[in-house]
Amino acid sequence: MEDTDAASLKEKSARWDKLVLERAELEGFTKTEARKILAEINREAEEKIRAKFAAETVQESDAANFEYAKMAMCENPNAKTIFDLQCATWNHLEHLIRHDADTKATFNVLRKAGAKYPDPKHFATTELGEALYYCTLETLLRGKSDRWRAVLELLRDGLSPDEIFIDLFFDEKFQEKFEMR
Q: Give the pLDDT mean for 52-58.
A: 71
Average predicted confidence (pLDDT) for the chain: 85
- 146 and 108, same structural domain? yes
Examine the pLDDT at 181 and tell me if it is beyond 60. Answer: no
pTM over 0.85: no
In a shared domain, residues 64 and 45:
no
Identify the domain containing residue 112 by its residue range.
Answer: 58-178
Distance CA 114, CA 109 (A): 9
14, 40, 55 - which closes a domain: 55
| Residue 111 pLDDT > 90 | yes
**Within this chain, do residues 110 and 37 fall inside the same structural domain, yes or no?**
no
Instruction: Assess whether pLDDT exceeds 80 at residue 169.
Output: no
Q: Are 66 and 91 in contact (CB under 8 A)?
A: yes
Instruction: Give pLDDT, residue 47.
Output: 82
Comparing 3-7, 62-66, 153-157, the range with the smallest average pLDDT is: 3-7
| pLDDT confidence bin for 53, thresholds 50/70/90 | low
Q: How far is CA 128 from the centre of its chain?
A: 16
Q: Does residue 37 sit in the same domain as residue 79?
A: no
In the predicted structure, residue 104 carries a pLDDT above the cut 90: yes
51 and 90 in a single domain? The answer is: no
Are 95 and 104 contacting, i.e. CB atoms less than 8 angstroms apart?
A: no
Count H helices, E strands: the chain?
10, 0
Same domain, 51 and 104: no
Predicted pLDDT of residue 179: 65
Band of pLDDT at residue 1, cut at 50, 70 and 90: very low
**Same domain (yes/no): 29, 117:** no
One domain for residues 115 and 131: yes
Asked if residue 140 and residue 86 are part of one domain, the reply reads: yes
Residues 135 and 112 in one domain: yes
Q: Which helix (H) or strand (E) holds 3?
A: none
Domain count, the chain: 2
Asked if 128 and 165 sit in the same domain, the reply is yes
Question: Which of the four pLDDT bands, split at 50, 70 and 90, describes residue 149?
Answer: very high
State how far the Cα of 48 lies from the Cα of 54, in Å rounded to an integer.
10
CA atoms of 33 and 23, how far apart (whole Å): 12
Judge whether residue 3 has pLDDT over 50.
no
| 14 and 89 together in one domain | no
